[in-house]
Structure 1
Amino acid sequence: MDKMKVTYEAMLSLTAEMVLDDALRKYRTEQIYQEIDKALATGDRISFRLLTDELKSMN
């Protein structure tokens, strides 16, 4: 019974970590898109290039 509890807790922990990672990735992606929009609006090519590279590396 104890082994089953440990296994369950480990799986629960991994699931929580996956959910958190996914939420953080989505949040950062939204931030990057907003910053890309800003860079386009201001004509900041360097920031645009850096941000699009970061976005590509996340996938």
Structure 2
Amino acid sequence: MDKMKVTYEAMLGLAAEMVLDEAVLKFRTEQTYKAIDQALASGDEDTFYRLAKQLNEMKR
């Protein structure tokens, strides 16, 4: 019974970590999109390309 409890707790921990990772990725992606929009609006081509590259790397 104890081994089953340890396994269950480990699986819950992994599930919580996956949810947290997904939330962080979503937040970073949204922030990057906003920064890309600002770079476009201000005509900052270098920042746009840097952020677009960063966004593509996050999607991998």
Q: Please indicate, yes or no, whether the TM-score normalized by the shorter chain is above 0.5.
A: yes
Where do 5+ consecutive residues of structure 2 fail to align? none
Q: Percent identity?
A: 63
- Cα distance per residue 1:11-36 (max 9 Å; x no partner): 00000000000000000000000000
Displacement of 1:37 in angstroms is: 0.3
Counterpart residue number, 1:4? 4
Structure 1 unaligned runs (5+)? none
Query: 1 or 2 for the larger relative contact order (CA 8 Å, sep ≥6)?
Result: 2
RMSD, aligned CA:
0.4
Identify the residue that residue 31 of structure 2 maps to in structure 1: 31
Partner Cα distance (2:46, 2:15) in 1? 38
Alpha-carbon shift at residue 41 of structure 1 (Å):
0.3
Aligned-partner Cα distance in 2 for 1:34–1:6: 42
The runs of at least 4 consecutive aligned structure 1 residues that moved more than 2 Å come to none
**Paired AA for residue 16 in structure 2:** A
Length, aligned pairs only: 59
The 3-state SS of whatever aligns with 1:19 is helix
